Amino acid sequence: MSILSGKGGHDLFVYGSLQEPQVVYVLLNRVPDHISAVLSGFHRFRLTGRVYPTILPDSTREVTGKVLKGITDDELKLLDEFEDVEYDRHTVEVVLKDTSEKLQVETYVWKNKDDLDLYGEWDFEEWKRHDKEDFVTATKKFVEGRKLPEAKTRIDTFKTFFNQDTDS
83 is an active site residue: yes
Four-point Cα dihedral 68, 74, 133, 63, nearest 10: 30
Burial degree of 113 (CB within 10 A; 0-12, 13-18, 19+): exposed
**Which of 161, 141, 153 lies closest to 82 in space, CA to CA?**
153
**Which of 164, 131, 153 lies closest to 20 in space, CA to CA?**
131
Question: In the chain, what is the greatest distance between 2 CA atoms, to the nearest angstrom?
Answer: 53
Contacts of 28 (CB under 8 A, 6+ apart): 71, 75, 78
Cα angle 145, 136, 138 (rounded to 5 degrees) comes to: 40
Catalytic residue among 20, 62, 81, 83: 83
Q: Do the Cβ atoms of 145 and 137 come closer than 8 Å?
A: no
**Residue positions annotated with a catalytic role:** 83
